[in-house]
Chains A and B, each alone.
Chain A
Amino acid sequence: MNRNYFILTIIMLVLAAGTFFIPRKSLQQQAKPSKLLWEIIQPTRYVSTDQVAKMIIQKDPTLELIDVRSADEYNKFSLPNSINVPLDSIVNEGGMDYFGIPGTNVVFFSNDDIKADEAWVLAKRLGFNATYVMKGGLNRWIETIIQPKEPAEESPGTAFESYEFRKGAQLFFTGAKVEKTTTKKSKIVVRRKKKAVVAAGGC
């Protein structure tokens, strides 16, 4: 056998053995700093309380609500079907189990939106996409969905539309039952006049 082949083979085997010593890459790649900053300055992660309410009412299967407050606060009150992942436990064993499930949109929320935003940044750094933050948090939830304010006379039509939606959402979330309310158009009264007897023919 040619000696050169022999040497080449030895070199290849040594290199192959070296691959055992390469540090194993974690399953979830951390986002590079430049990419992380770019994502941070996009405002697209914010969803409004109206959007979240709509998704809950429509039973959107992709919605995954994550409450990042403490367990005590979560047990006192939280949004329907939300999961409690306290912010401090994200780095613990199993803290990230609820992120990254394919096909789900994760929406973080807290009392305001700072804590949820912090959770979002950390989740983004850990490489999770499809994550969002509910702007205004539960405080805004109360102000818009549970206790919506009637818009002033001079507000644009859209304000009234969203107010109608919010009234409906309020009833949905507070479980109240109310009879059907206004119809947009009032039904038109149809009165048929008695058809006069028509004398046909002669006298």
Chain B
Amino acid sequence: MHVHELNPKKTLIALLAFVILLLAGFFTMHKPLLTYKLDVKQSLAMLNNPDACFQPWQLADVLNHKDKNVVLIDIRDKFTYGQGHIPGSENISAFDLTKKENIERLDGFKKQGITVVLYGNDQLQANGPWMFFHQVGFDNVKILLGGYDYYHAHKENLMASKNDQSYLKGKARYDFPKVAAKSGSTAGKSTVKTKKPVVIRRKKKAVVASGGC
């Protein structure tokens, strides 16, 4: 006789408790804070959207408080921020930006239609975090082209950078096929001096008279 035939009630209670525990766990499982809102294809499309980029000359309006709809966030570390940052920017590293209170702030900004501009030393440093925040649903996040370095070099006259294109990345700066052409002949003047191999001259060993005369 099996034990559950002897104690049908106990078996039933154990079974019910098990099911209830399962259901309880299932319903109290908390949703992760961040989920993907864009799939990979949409993320790719986002990259080609010029609206997702913030031009350096647009900073001029932000700095003189004409544009109040922009929040600047410096994603570099505290020390670098302390050495120099764009006035009015907050220092929040990309990692801290995903903490609960900051996500709630970002949500708030999104609802109010406020643009959040991320910047690092250069565009590359902010590139990853910028892509990430778009993928989790914050389409109001833009990236500052040229980064802090370009701003710092041109902060006296930001509006002039409207005509400057040097901060735009992705263009070939050299005529690659020409510059890196494979040549069969010897390379250009070698600035390295060639040392003449040193000649070792061995003098013939003289015949040594040994013994007697």
Which residues of A approach B to under 8 Å, CB–CB? 2, 4, 30, 32-34, 36-38, 40-41, 73, 76-77, 87-88, 90-91, 110-115, 117-118, 121-122, 125-126, 138-139, 142, 146-147, 150, 167, 170-171, 173-183, 186-202
Contacts and interface: CB of A to CB of B under 8 A. Distances in A.
B187 A171 contact: yes
Majority SS at the chain A contact face? loop
Given A122-B43, A142-B179, A182-B192, A36 B132 contact: yes
Interface stretch (B60-68, B80-88, B120-128, B154-162): B120-128
Contacts of B183: 174-176
Interface in B78-119: 93-95, 98
B98 A2 contact: no
Nearest to B203: A192
Contacts of B211: 200-201
Given A147-B179, A191-B203, A194-B205, 13 more contacts: A2-B5, A37-B132, A38-B95, A87-B44, A111-B171, A118-B127, A138-B172, A139-B174, A174-B183, A176-B185, A176-B186, A187-B197, A198-B209
Given A173-B180, A181-B190, A41 B94 contact: yes
19 contacts: A34-B32, A37-B95, A37-B98, A111-B170, A112-B169, A114-B169, A121-B128, A121-B131, A142-B174, A142-B176, A174-B187, A177-B186, A179-B194, A182-B192, A182-B194, A183-B195, A189-B198, A197-B206, A200-B210
Contacts of A2: 5
B132 A77 contact: no
A93 B190 CA distance: 49
B202 interface: yes
A174 B205 CA distance: 50
A110 B170 CA distance: 7
Interface of B: 4-5, 8, 32-36, 40-41, 43-44, 47, 93-95, 98, 123-124, 127-129, 131-132, 135-136, 169-174, 176-177, 179-187, 190-195, 197-206, 208-213
Contact of B200 (A146, A176, A179, A189): A189
Main secondary structure of the interface of B (DSSP, over half): loop
A30 B213 CA distance: 98
Most chain A CB atoms below 10 A, which of B41, B128, B132, B192: B128
